[in-house]
Amino acid sequence: MTVTLNHTIVPARDNDAEADFFAGIMGLRRLPPDGIDGKFAPVAVNDSLTLQFMTVPGAEPHHLAFDVEPAEFDQILARLQARGVPYGNSPRDPANGRTDHPLCPRGLFFADETGNLYEVMTTA
């Protein structure tokens, strides 16, 4: 049996703003509102995974990590730099401007307004 993650909820102070931010940085597609009363702001990560951003009072930040190809990493880094979004090579210091990641040749962390910490890693 193959198990595949279909979706996960990402807590947000403002689901639309956080979904737009994440999709914009990662170069992903925002989907139309979903769920009962359209309370989810979905972002398609790939053919089998959707992140469902949901506004939650007192949202507790999550950590989500992604593997990307080297060219995608370069594009994500360029979008972070163009938007002036802080990034760094450590979850303890996600604003140090470094991409020398301890687990892979290049990687970085960045956060959204809610404090969700996104990790992006590549093989070269």
d(CA 55, CA 34): 13
CATH 3.30.720.120, domain 7-55, yes or no = yes
- 56-92: pLDDT as tens digits: 999 999 999 999 999 999 999 999 999 999 999 999 9
CB 27 within 8 A of CB 76: yes
For the chain, the domains span: 7-55, 63-122
Token code pair at residue 46? 């790939």
Fold of 63-122: 2,3-Dihydroxybiphenyl 1,2-Dioxygenase; domain 1 (3.10.180)
Beta-bridge mates of residue 29: 44
CB 89 within 8 A of CB 101: yes
Q: Higher confidence at residue 2 or residue 29?
A: 29
> Angle, nearest 10°, between helix axes 15-26 and 70-83?
130
At 37, which amino acid appears? D
